[in-house]
Every structure is written in C-alpha cells, then in structure tokens.
Amino acid sequence: MSERKNVFLYYIPSDELEPKIQQLKTVGKKQGFKLVDNMEDANIIASIGGDGAFLQALRKTGFREDCLYVGINNKRLGFYTDFDLDKLERIEEGLQSDMVEVLRYPTLEVTVDGIQTFHCLNECSIRSNIIKTFAIDVYIDDIHFETFRGDGMVVSTPTGSTAYNKSLRGAIVDPRLRSMQLNEIASINNNEYRTLGSPLLLSSSRELVLKIVQDGNDHPIIAVDNEALGIRHSHEVSIKVSEKVIKTIKLKDNSFIHKVKRSFLQ
Ligand code: NAD
C-alpha cells in the first residue's frame, strides 16, 4: 500500500454522495494520496457504493492486476466493500497500512465461441431470455458430462459462492481454494432429461464447456457478474479459473469467515 499513492475513485455522482466524497478526498490528501482523473494513471482503484459498484469498477477498469481494488460502502458493509464511507476514521486508520492485509481473489475466464474473452469475480450465468426452457450440453475436460434442460446455469468463483450461487443452494467456498462451482437454475429431471441435480465444485485445472443446444431457444442471456453480454447468437461458452487474480485490501478483523458470519448468521 505504501508505494501505491495514485487513487482513482469509481462512483456514480449524486448530490447525496458529494459532501462525503469531498471529506474522503481530504482524508486521502492528508495521508499523502493523490487523486487521478484517468483510471490508467491509478494504482489504487476505489469503488464507492455496494458490491455491485465494486464489480462494475473492476469491469470498467479491465480487471487490472497492477492495481489494488478497494471497496467503500456508503450504506452497509458488503462482501467486497470493507470500508464504510460514514466511518472516515476507520478508513484513515486503514490508510496507515498495518491494519490492512492484501487479499488475492481468484477470477474466472469466460470465452464465448472461442473468440471473445471476459473475466468475472462473482460468476458467469447463462439464462433463458424467454419463458421457454433451453438445453445445454455440459463438457468437463472434453468429456460429455450431462445434458441440462431448464432455466440456466451459473458458474461461480469462491467469492461469488455467497452471491447468486448461494440462492441456488450452492456451497460456500473458501476463497483460498482456487476453484469454480457449477450450479443449476431449475433443471428438469424426468425420464427424458437427467442432470446431476447438485452443485459441482471443480478444481482450477479443469475446463468447463457449455454448448447451447440449437433447438429453437438458442439465444440465452450470458452475463458476467452484473453485466449481460450483448452476444445474441453464441453456441459455446468455455469457462476456467483464470491466472488473473484481483488484489484487494481488507481490514485484519474482517476475514471471509467474519463476512459469512456477519451476512448470514447474525
Ligand atoms: P448489488 O450491490 O445490488 O448486489 C445485490 C446483492 O447481492 C447485495 O445484497 C450484495 O451485497 C449481494 N452480493 C453481491 N456480490 C456478493 C457476493 N460475492 N457475496 C455475497 N453477496 C453478494 O449489485 P448487483 O449488481 O445487483 O449484484 C450483482 C450480483 O447479484 C451478481 O453478481 C449475482 O451474484 C447476484 N445475483 C443474485 C441473484 C439471486 O440471488 N437470485 C440473481 C441475480 C444476480
């Protein structure tokens, strides 16, 4: 943290936020940080807002490995937002550095039709964009594993395991395990269609390929984190654990275990 001083603030301006941002800027300057207007000049990227804002900041700045990402929440703490805009003294404490740790979060690399590659920190989801179900042939390391029919599938990272994946009754995965989890959205299981029916945790050495069966409902929505890709006619989505990790900082008393407890058990 000490050698990183150029900060880019990512937020959606509003009248409510502006006075708080000014106070934050004052604290930053006092601690020797410089605010930059271009994200390219930054080595710290701070999002202000919820987890959704943090995910957007990553996407808009291209999942940079040479930057530290910091999430600052303006309402309540999230999974990626360790700092609270209303507790400036805590941010100031964090900026002085021995109270914070750098964490490295695994991401997923998603390639559509062998051409376009995207990254995600929470999950990649493929969902029907109409009322009809659609089918996906699932391949793991080139082995045909199952044919899914239903509303869609979600492949999540460990940190994304507490998001959409959890609503689908997936397991919560410790981010220290580089892995990805395949989960179903309302699969049909009868004499015609058969899927595993439970979440599947795969190691970082596996490659997952989801081939959209071209049988009439061939244009599902593909989304990476909270953004739908504008790709309408995709046939094949391949997903693996990326070499790219996102560096973020957290306060020492706010581990993954603290966050899971705080969010789901209190
Ligand atoms: P947001 O900040 O409004 O997020 C929505 C909620 O999801 C918030 O409560 C947020 O704290 C929580 N969240 C986001 N990432 C999380 C994580 N990794 N662990 C635990 N909670 C997390 O912003 P948004 O743009 O709506 O969020 C995008 C995320 O919402 C997607 O990446 C997806 O995981 C999730 N999502 C969930 C469902 C569902 O549970 N049915 C459906 C669609 C999307």
Residue 11 has pLDDT above 80, yes or no: yes
**In ligand 1, which atom is closest to the CA atom of 56?**
25
Q: What is the DSSP string of 69-80?
A: EEEEESSS--SS
The residue to mutate among 128, 166, 184, 226, having the most atoms of ligand 1 within 8 angstroms of its beta carbon, is 226
- 43 Cα: distance to centroid of ligand 1 (angstroms): 26
Between CA 142 and CA 178 the distance in angstroms is: 21
Asked which of 2-11, 47-56, 147-156 is least confident by mean pLDDT, the reply is: 2-11
Those residues whose C-beta lies under 8 Å from the C-beta of residue 258, and which sit 6 or more positions away, are none
124 lines ligand 1 (CB under 6 A): no
CA dist., res. 188 & res. 193, Å (int): 6
Position in ligand 1 atom list of the atom nearest CA 160: 18
How far apart are the C-alpha atoms of 124 and 122, rounded to whole Å?
7
Using the mean position of ligand 1's atoms as its centre, give its distance from the Cα of residue 165 in Å: 10
Task: State pLDDT tens for residues 108-132.
Answer: 999 999 999 999 999 999 999 999 9
Amino acid letter, residue 254? N
Residue 196 confidence (pLDDT): 97
Give the Å distance between the CA of 106 and the centre of ligand 1. 17
Give dist(CA 215, CA 204) in Å, integer. Answer: 32
pLDDT per position as a tens digit, 218-240? 789 999 999 999 877 889 999 99
pLDDT in tens, 40-73: 999 999 999 999 999 999 999 999 999 999 999 9
pLDDT for res 176: 95
Catalogue all structural domains in the chain, each as residue range(s) with its CATH number.
6-97 (3.40.50.10330), 107-243 (2.60.200.30)
Residues annotated as part of the active site? 51
Least confident segment among 106-110, 156-160, 222-226, 247-251:
247-251
Ligand 1 nearest atom to the CA of residue 53, by list position: 2
30 C-alpha to center of ligand 1: Å?
Answer: 34
- Tell which one of 47, 51, 79, 121 to mutate to probe ligand 1, the residue whose CB is within 8 A of the most ligand atoms: 51
Checking if the pLDDT of 1 tops 70, the result is no
- In ligand 1, the atom with minimum distance to the C-alpha of 120 is 32
